[in-house]
């Protein structure tokens, strides 16, 4: 598949979800040009070097389910162990670093429609348009694509399970109440909330790039 689906296209935003003051202008939710998905770009972490780097996660899909009616998964991933990861919440940008000439570079972009990764750079062309450039090693063979800023009230399609996995978090269930509580116990047990345990990976370890970067390159032209 070409890099022309979930990650590379322009749709019309209904309103502007501009970043808060003091944050990078690239931070926010962006539509791809096919209208099939949207990616939230934000700092990779809260401390250390990751607080200065940008990552991106899929947070909206026009069609979140496949033909079988089940949620879309990362079925083309080269790692069989990751092919059941949900597309919603999937990390698709990582390790982007601010560069002197403007924008961010030296990162990676993952296209779930190909199951492949590319080197990546992003920069703003205007307040509501972001240019994503995918390349392999050198930009002589690069291709660029325009993303459009999504409205601030865009609904989310995921509970973030894939994102939590990427950040190295684990889930632990609330301990079950005493069995002597009978039916009330069963009801409480069924509705017990799930908490996410914070790990050192979530606190500062960067996402692992889906390497190796393949020789194939995106072909769609910038609009």
Q: What pLDDT sits at residue 142?
A: 84
160 vs 12: which has the higher pLDDT: 160
**Which residue, 97, 105, 112, 80, is CA-closest to 8?**
112
Residue 34, CB half-sphere, CA atoms under 13 Å: how many? Answer: 16
- pLDDT value, residue 62: 94
Can you tell me the mean pLDDT for 14-31? Answer: 71
Q: Which element (helix H / strand E) includes 116?
A: strand 116-126
In the chain, domain spans: 28-158, 169-204
Q: How many CA atoms lie within 13 A of 143 on its CB side?
A: 17
The mean of the pLDDT values for the chain is 73
pLDDT value of residue 158: 59
pLDDT of residue 180 exceeding 70, the answer is no
Question: Picking from 81-90, 112-121, 145-154, 173-182, which range would have the lowest pLDDT averaged per residue?
Answer: 173-182
Q: Per-residue confidence at 56, pLDDT binned at 50, 70, 90?
A: very high
Q: According to the model, what pLDDT value does residue 82 have?
A: 95
The dotted CATH code for 28-158 is: 2.40.128.520
The gap between the terminal CA atoms of the chain, to the nearest Å, is 20
């Amino acid at each position: 598949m070409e890099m022309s689906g979930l990650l590379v296209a322009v749709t019309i935003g209904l309103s502007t979800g501009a970043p808060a003051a003091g944050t990078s202008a690239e931070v926010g939710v962006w539509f791809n040009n096919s209208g099939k998905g949207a990616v939230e770009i934000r700092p990779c972490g809260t401390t250390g070097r990751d607080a200065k780097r940008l990552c991106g996660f899929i947070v909206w899909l026009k069609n979140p389910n496949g033909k079988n009616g089940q949620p879309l998964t990362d079925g083309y991933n080269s790692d069989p162990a990751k092919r059941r990861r949900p597309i919603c919440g999937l990390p698709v940008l990582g390790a982007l670093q601010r560069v002197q000439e403007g924008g961010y570079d030296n990162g990676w972009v993952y296209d779930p429609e190909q199951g492949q990764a590319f080197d990546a750079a992003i920069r703003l062309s205007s307040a509501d348009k972001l240019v994503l450039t995918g390349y392999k090693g050198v930009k002589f063979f690069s291709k660029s694509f325009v993303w459009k800023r999504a409205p601030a009230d865009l609904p989310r399609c995921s509970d973030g399970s894939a994102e939590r996995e990427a950040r190295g978090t684990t889930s632990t269930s609330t301990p079950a109440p005493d069995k002597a509580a009978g039916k009330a116990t069963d009801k409480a047990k069924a509705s017990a909330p799930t908490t996410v345990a914070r790990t050192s990976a979530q606190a500062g370890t960067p996402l692992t790039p889906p390497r190796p970067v393949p020789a194939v390159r995106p072909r769609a032209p910038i609009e």
